């Protein structure tokens, strides 16, 4: 049988058995008078209230000492503008270029060895018997 809130108040200095703890009706919290409803009443000091958050100025333009460079943000896995502008994007400067269909990762095309060349096709077409 579930214990009432008053029974729990009277027994608060006693030790409960496992079965007694499991039988406590935990929804009694709704009946507690003067239960905390604010951060301060709960004793929470490391969080902002709604009012404090609403009063903060979150405008990026008013933040002092904000970083202006990649290094200022502590980033090491990005290029700076000058590094990107200094790269040579010309295809002739790219090394280790593939030279085959499979080298490009293309899997839905025939290779030269898998198709007839023009001479072979012309020969086959000229000897094609359309009457059979």
Q: What does pTM read for this prediction?
A: 0.25
The torsion defined by the Cα of 59, 62, 68 and 73, in degrees rounded to 10, comes to: -60
Query: Tell me, what DSSP letter sits at residue 61?
Result: G
Q: What is the mean pLDDT of the chain?
A: 76
Cα 22 from Cα 1, distance rounded (Å)? 10
Q: Please, which pLDDT band fits residue 52 given cuts at 50, 70 and 90?
A: confident
Comparing 50 with 28, the larger pLDDT belongs to: 50
pLDDT per residue as tens digits for the range 2-12 = 556 656 665 55
């Amino acid at each position: 049988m579930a214990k009432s809130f008053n029974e729990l108040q009277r027994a608060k200095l006693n030790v409960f058995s496992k079965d007694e703890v499991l039988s406590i009706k935990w929804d009694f919290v709704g009946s507690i008078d003067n239960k905390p409803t604010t951060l301060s009443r709960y004793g929470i000091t490391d969080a902002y209230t709604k009012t404090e958050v609403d009063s903060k100025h979150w405008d990026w333009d008013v933040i002092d000492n904000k970083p202006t460079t990649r290094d200022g943000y502590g980033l090491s896995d990005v290029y700076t503008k000058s590094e990107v502008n200094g790269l040579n994007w010309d295809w002739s400067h790219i090394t280790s270029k593939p030279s085959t269909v499979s080298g490009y990762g293309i899997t839905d095309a025939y290779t030269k060895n898998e198709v007839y060349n023009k001479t072979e096709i012309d020969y086959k077409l000229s000897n094609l018997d359309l009457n059979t």
